[in-house]
Amino acid sequence: MKTLPKLSGVFRVFALGALLTLGLPVQAQTDPLPSWNDGAAKKAIVEFVQATTTQGSPQFVPPAERIATFDQDGTLWVEHPMYSQVMYILESVPALVKAKPELAKVAPFSTVLEVLKGDRAAISKLTMPDLEKLAAATLTGMPVATFQAEAKKWLAEAKDPRWKKPYTELTYLPMQEVLKYLRANGYKTYIVTGGGQDFVRVYSDATYGIPPEQVIGTAGGTKYGYTKDGKPFLTKEPKLMLNDNNAGKPEGIHLMIGRRPYAAFGNSTGDRQMLEYTKSGDGARLSMLVLHDDAKREYAYGPAKGLPDSKVGTFPQSLYDEATKQGWIVISMKDDWKRIFSFE
């Protein structure tokens, strides 16, 4: 079924729907990846899709097994100067201090208040244990529905400091095209993020077309309980269930999906094991890494390839060398992406 039969109007729409339902490849009428420049990265994606979805191909993958996983921060959207969820945590501190004024003079809450008053340098005082304490205080202890409403409100109001746009608009257009292209070819797309599972689920559907059940992230436990009038609800607990980073990514994929992905996309050391696990499966497998080498249109950091070092989304030379050795494809933002944002 290489071409669509000539149908008009409503039946054409039906026929197309049926083709997608049956998981048959739909011949691209137009370029599925218009924001990509021609090159090895774009070619690898198109060839992977054709190899795994064309009936009769030796590398054909049955529709039910078509799983593709995407890291979020730095892979699907901007992660500099700081992960959006960390901004959420910091910007939630004033409301917390308002409710518990005694925290205003206690570190790390006091440090965060300094940062928010404009002392950006104070951010470097925050250690990992500080961030964990802040995360526990702002992300746990409340009903799930309360957290969801608060995160939704913040996302609607907060703006990225450089582009002055909501964080959810800072997604990479080329990656949005990859998500849609894979889905149009029967792939189920998942986010597999070190970020908080509950946080990302608040906007994943609107931002990426990915429903909550296809978001795997760092997850805490919840506790089932009752309101005074007997209505059941879940409370977010400060108990880590899954640290979805590094080896936690393939472990989380097994827990939540139970199958090995055919394609995986990341951009930093935290994604290494997911790419390795994906690529080591049988048949055609695609592992890709986004390299932030475009200081002008976005940011430049590595330290791979002599780019500036960064604690946020580190991409060391060792990861670059391993990618070369293992056949993982590195995407150069500068060279491979014609456009980065839809608002450009």
Residues that bind a copy of itself (CB under 8 A): 7, 11, 13-18, 20-22, 64, 67, 144, 188, 197-198, 201, 205, 211-213, 215, 219, 221-224, 231-232, 234, 241-242, 247, 250-251, 254-259, 273, 276-277, 280
Nearer to a copy of itself, 127 or 280 (CB): 280
Cα 297 from Cα 174, distance rounded (Å): 14
Q: How far is the CB of 31 from a copy of itself (least distance, A)?
A: 24
Q: Which CB sits closer to a copy of itself, 106 or 247?
A: 247
DSSP one-letter string for 150-174: HHHHHHHH---TTT-S-GGG-B-HH
**Closer residue to a copy of itself, CB minimum distance, 161 or 258:** 258
In the complex, the smallest distance separating the C-beta of residue 293 from a copy of itself, rounded to whole angstroms, is 28
The amino acid at residue 144 is V
* Residue 216 buriedness (CB in 10 A; 0-12 / 13-18 / 19+): buried
CA 203 to chain centre: 11
Return the bridge partners of 332, or none.
291
Q: Are 190 and 211 in contact (CB under 8 A)?
A: no
Cα 46–Cα 79–Cα 184 angle in degrees, nearest 5? 25
CB of 30 to a copy of itself, least distance (A): 21
Please, which residue, 111 or 207, has the CB nearer to a copy of itself?
207
Residue 281 CB coordination number (10 Å): 12
Residue placing its CB nearer to a copy of itself in the complex, 188 or 292: 188
Instruction: Provide the minimum distance between the beta carbon of 43 and a copy of itself in the complex, in angstroms, as a whole number.
Output: 27
We find the least distance from the C-beta atom of residue 91 to a copy of itself, in angstroms, to be 23
* Shortest distance (Å) from residue 288 CB to a copy of itself: 18
**Cβ of residue 247: shortest distance to a copy of itself, in angstroms?**
4
Radius of gyration of the chain (CA): 22
Q: Which residue has the tokens 């570190």?
A: 107
Q: Which is nearer to a copy of itself, 11 or 343 (CB)?
A: 11
Closer Cβ to a copy of itself, 91 or 276, answer by number: 276
Element (H or E) spanning 113, and its range?
Answer: helix 109-116
How deeply is 18 buried, as exposed, middle or buried, from its count of CB atoms within 10 A (0-12, 13-18, 19+)?
Answer: exposed
